[in-house]
Amino acid sequence: MIKIGILNLQGDVSEHFKMTKKAIKKLKIEAEAIKVKKKDEIRSCDALIISGGESTVIGKLMEKENIIETIKKEKIPIMGTCAGMILLAKETDHKQPLLGIIDMKVQRNAFGRQRESFEEKIKILGKEFNGIFIRAPAVTRTGPKVKILSKLNDKIIAVKQGKNIALAFHPELGNDTLLHEHFIKEVL
Ligand code: GLN
């Protein structure tokens, strides 16, 4: 049985938990979603999801739980959304704890004050998807192994490196399980 861990430190963890369960049901596979934060719990997972929230807070809590090295060493596929995207990056425009798993630089709050929160139809994986952006980051540099999955107004909002996926928006806050299903299929 495949275990998809949802990192349970801060942010919209329950929303990811629900969407992951919904995606598992749709895919009709033997898998379970579990909320995790301790080293052993993380080690028992086949994949990990890092939610939206406040990346500085999640980073500090990761340090407190002493799980940054654990997550890096596991080398399991990770999907990070919004704050989770920031945490996956190698660099940001701000000094904060990072996992550095995806070779990219991320700019926090990249869509400016007037547009701190908005919804917009985006194109991803050949489909249209309702992107929910809340003080969203954007990717400003990608390394050679990073594939760009989507852009909005020239800003990079979704990338993939190996099986790791980083999204600037919040698929966990909508109803469409497209991206959760895509991520889970990568783990199978
Ligand atoms: N701007 C937030 C940060 O820097 C991310 C916002 C979000 O996850 N909705 O962590």
Per-residue pLDDT of 74-83, as tens digits, reads 999 999 999 9
By most ligand atoms within 8 Å of CB, the mutation choice from 108, 111, 170 for ligand 1 is 108
| Separation CA 61–CA 146 (nearest Å) | 27
Average pLDDT across the chain, whole number: 97
Which atom of ligand 1 is found nearest the CA of 52? 8
Could you tell me if 160 and 125 are in contact, meaning their C-beta atoms sit under 8 angstroms apart?
no
| Dihedral sign, Cα of residue 120, residue 100, residue 34, residue 52 | negative
By most ligand atoms within 8 Å of CB, the mutation choice from 7, 91, 135, 169 for ligand 1 is 135
Task: Give pLDDT tens digits for 130-149.
Answer: 999 999 999 999 999 999 99
What domains appear along the chain, each with residue ranges and CATH number?
2-187 (3.40.50.880)
- Assess whether pLDDT exceeds 80 at residue 38: yes
Taking the complete model, does pTM exceed 0.95, yes or no? Answer: yes
pLDDT of residue 75: 97
Which percentage of the chain shows pLDDT scores above 90?
97
| Separation CA 131–CA 171 (nearest Å) | 7
- Assess whether pLDDT exceeds 90 at residue 109: yes
Q: On the CB side of 179, how many CA atoms lie within 13 Å of its CA? A: 31
| Separation CA 121–CA 72 (nearest Å) | 33
Start-to-end CA span in the chain (Å): 10
Is 16 among the catalytic positions?
no
Tell the residue number behind the tokens 């800003």, with chain if given. 155
> Would you say 52 is a known binding-site residue?
no
The confidence band for 101, taking pLDDT boundaries of 50, 70 and 90, is: very high
Task: Give pLDDT tens digits for 157-180.
Answer: 999 999 999 999 999 999 999 999
The length of the chain in residues reads: 188
pLDDT of residue 43: 98
